[in-house]
Copies of this chain bind each other. A is one copy, B any other.
Amino acid sequence: MKTVKVGVIGFGYWGPNLARNFFDLPSAELVAIADLKEDRLQRARSFYPEVRTTTNYMDLFNMDLDAVVVSVPPALHYPIAKHCLENGLHVLIEKPMTQSSEHAEELIRKAESKELVLMVGHTFVYNSAVVALKKFIDSGELGDIYYIDTARLNLGLFQRDSNVLWDLAPHDISILLFLLGQDPVSISAYGAPCVIDNIFDVAYLNLIFPNQVPAHIHVSWLDPCKVRRITVVGSKKMIVFNDVENEQKLKIYDKGVDAPEYTDGFGEFHWNYRSGDILIPKIRVSEPLRQECHHFLDSIINKTRPESDGHNGLRVVKIIEAAENSLRNQSSKEIFAWDTLNMPALRQM
């Protein structure tokens, strides 16, 4: 196969970016675009006059396609992806892969039985700054990983059928799995539905990775500042990945603290603090989505397993499921409920 014939299902917020990349990439041919809304299809045709459009994604099954991209609302990921796999098409699904792990597992089985590529759009795994960050970790330059802290905050976009966990946390979870190359051993979460009942818009996740490495994720739809930050603290060095910066995305701090080798038990600790240079490495900028689409095509052409394959997507879904369970049962975790009975009333301030 020289070029992969691709159809895009869903031309709303993210679909146009996918279509643009498959249109531009030489190893793909953008054949068709499906969307329920005619005005979106009209816009698609104005950009790509040669592309076929339809309001019924099932029409794509008769267009001699090799692969489809599913960028529809999360609730439709499972049925549409399944249908496409059943029709022999390689599938790239936007994140989150599905809304339940059972559905994800079913898609994996489907794809494996048909020997089709099933890939999930965890874009950050294809982000050159994240790849560089992983290289620094793997090289041992950071030493042992002490902990990772992430924050993904913004004002908005509220969605009716989702919450901040399913919307934003897949990014951070897929980054953590990629950086550490391991599954977490335990998961818990806290959060709150501030604006609308039952729709969590702020959440904190605690993941413990093997060797007691903790990772903490803060996601919010309700913050005045746009924050996209990952801090990796190692025993030798520390790195901050600040995705809001235009150019200086990674900062490597030659900082640390060494425990005293010997203490007499009575005297004070003699900590050894290190604070050396800071390095901001040049990261070659390339659109992560371009890399992702390219990787999907490569996997199809070379019959290889993509980095963010179905199993990777399943992992992320399972972690979010566990976190959401924890979130919804958080009252049961309040084992140290505060006893105000014995406290004098707070003074009026």
Contact = CB atoms under 8 A, between A and B. Distances in A.
Interface string A338-349: 101001101111
A295 B221 CA distance: 38
Interface stretch (A3-11, A60-68, A265-273): A265-273
A315 interface: yes
Interface string A318-334: 11001101100101111
Interface string A138-162: 0000000011010000011111100
A166 interface: no
A132 to B, nearest CB: 12
Contacts of A268: 160
Contact of A273 (B155, B233, B269): B155
B279 A277 contact: yes
Interface stretch (A26-34, A91-99, A250-258): A250-258
A178 B214 CA distance: 31
Contacts of A282: 254, 275-278
A187 B258 CA distance: 32
Contacts of A269: 158-160
Contacts of A314: 343
B195 A146 contact: yes
Interface string A233-245: 1010010100000
A216 B190 contact: yes
A295 to B, nearest CB: 14
Contacts of A253: 224
Interface of A: 47, 49, 134, 146-147, 149, 155-160, 177-178, 181-188, 190-192, 194-196, 202, 204, 206, 208, 212-214, 216, 218, 220-225, 231, 233, 235, 238, 240, 248, 251, 253-259, 263, 268-269, 271, 273, 275-282, 305, 307, 311, 314-315, 318-319, 322-323, 325-326, 329, 331-338, 340, 343-344, 346-349
Given A183-B346, A224-B233, 11 more contacts: A147-B202, A155-B275, A188-B333, A196-B259, A222-B238, A307-B349, A311-B343, A315-B343, A319-B338, A325-B336, A333-B335
